[in-house]
Amino acid sequence: MKKINNPLKESWNTLLQRPTQTVDDIEATVTEIFSEVKQKGDSAVAKYTQLFDGISNLDTQVSNSEIEEAIQIVPSSLKESIQVAKENITTFHAAQKTQRVDINTIPGVHCWQEKKPIQKIGLYIPGGSAPLFSTILMLAIPAALAGCNEIILCTPPGKDGKVNPAILYTAKLCGVTTIFKIGGIQAIAAMTFGTETVPKVYKIFGPGNQFVTVAKQLATKHNVAIDMPAGPSELLVFADDSAIPSFVASDLLSQAEHGADSQVILVTTSEVMLQKVEIEIEKQIGSLPRKLIAEKAIKNSKLILVKNKEIALELINEYAPEHFIVISENEDFFIKNIQNAGSVFIGNFTPESAGDYASGTNHTLPTNGYAKQYSGVNLDSFTKSMTFQKITKDGLNNIGNAIENMAEAEGLQAHRNAVTLRLNYNK
């Protein structure tokens, strides 16, 4: 990890850059695949599944027998762990339900707001070397709680043409409607346009690599919403001398092992802590099964020493991390003043892994600085707010003149007439 001591503020923009390719580097590939899937449907999906995953003649829809087989394969201990996570995630997201807003803004004018579920949801679940079945819990549970009618899931197949059993078990447990063995750009394109077998959806959720992130962004040009730009994982830890160095190092490595394009950052006011964490990282990384991946991510990562907590907070808000761990004697200062972070973890005994799996909060979070303007996935992500109003004769009399005057001032005479006719009828 690169060490930086007291960086000047004018260097922050360069210092805090993510190790990602620009959209321009990727968009041409994504656009080409989108165009082909739109025109050729399943045959284009099959072409790119063979190209990227090395699998041909694949029946992309997961059958009931495959799901039942997977349920038998998943160890009971893992099933129990998934159930614990499911209960906590359900509890936290169910608590996010809000009451209908219902009010008379003025006598005779009744306005209310109701939340309606998004009917067709698409979930993208990364597979490969790290099949993220935990992401199904984070997405399918709130989708079901919101009342979404159709929950489609796409995930890349393994080299044997099968989906990881834990993914299938969790999808079944959480109420996913249909599962497809499709990964990457072609999966996002299939859910965007619909194919002979894959339904078109209204909103796509789920993390992925840089290609998936750009594909989701391109989907928004084709009348499909997305949860947020959610690309390679990232973590920033603030740690002062109250932190336990081995804990800090383990948290940094937990995100570094996600992928070579992940980024982890330590910000500290203690040079001693920085040195101890650096030593711990070297000690722990050697025993990781995903050592080579973590090592690549660590090359993109930084240990930053700053003079005080105020500078640290300003730098952290500028970076806007996906995950933010704060271990500090002054934790309240950070809790009260953090403005830009996807999810915050507080204290020595709150590892980021807890949020990834079983504490109850959602782990689908904005990356690449988008925490400045995006929220993480929550119950409201699967709903849309719809407003209603009903006005009586007296109500229209109460606001009619204001409407007429405003419409006339904007030069919209038909708007004025729609009110004037009614007011005259009421006389």
Is 258 annotated for ligand binding? yes
Within 10 angstroms of residue 420's Cβ, the number of other Cβ atoms is 17
Q: Which of 234, 257, 280, 322 is catalytic?
A: 322
Q: Is 255 annotated as a binding residue?
A: yes
Place of tokens 């807003």: 101
Q: How does strand 109-117 pair with strand 383-391?
A: antiparallel
Q: Is 322 a catalytic residue?
A: yes
Residue 327, beta-bridge partner list:
239
CA-based radius of gyration for the chain: 25
- What gap in Å lies between CA 208 and CA 355, rounded to an integer? 18
93 is in an annotated binding site: no
Whether 37 contacts 186, CB under 8 Å:
yes
415 is an annotated ligand-binding site residue = yes
Is position 53 annotated in a ligand binding site?
Answer: no
Q: Is 110 a catalytic residue?
A: no
Per the residue annotation, which of 323, 331, 352, 404 is the catalytic one?
323
Does the annotation flag 363 for ligand binding? no
To the question of whether residue 222 is assigned a binding role by annotation, the answer is: no
Reduce the secondary structure of the chain to three states and give it as a string. CEEEECCCHHHHHHHCCCCCCCHHHHHHHHHHHHHHHHHHCHHHHHHHHHHHHCCCCCCCECCHHHHHHHHHHCCHHHHHHHHHHHHHHHHHHHCCCCCCEEEEEECCEEEEEEEEECCEEEEECCCCCCCCHHHHHHHHHHHHHHCCCEEEEECCCCCCCCCCHHHHHHHHHCCCCEEECCCHHHHHHHHHHCCCCCCCCCEEECCCCHHHHHHHHHHHHHCCEECCCCCCCEEEEEECCCCCHHHHHHHHHHHHCCCCCCEEEEEECCHHHHHHHHHHHHHHHCCCCCHHHHHHHHHCCEEEECCCHHHHHHHHHHHCCCEEEEECCCHHHHHHHCCCCCEEEECCCCCHHHHHHCCCCCCCCCCCCHHHCCCCCCHHHHEEEEEEEEECHHHHHHHHHHHHHHHHHCCCHHHHHHHHHHHHHHC
Q: Is 124 annotated as a binding residue?
A: yes
- Residues annotated within the binding site for substrate are 233, 255, 258, 323, 356, 410, 415
Active site members: 322-323
- Residues annotated within the binding site for Zn(2+) are 255, 258, 356, 415
- Residues annotated within the binding site are 124, 186, 209, 233, 255, 258, 323, 356, 410, 415
- Residues annotated within the binding site for NAD(+) are 124, 186, 209
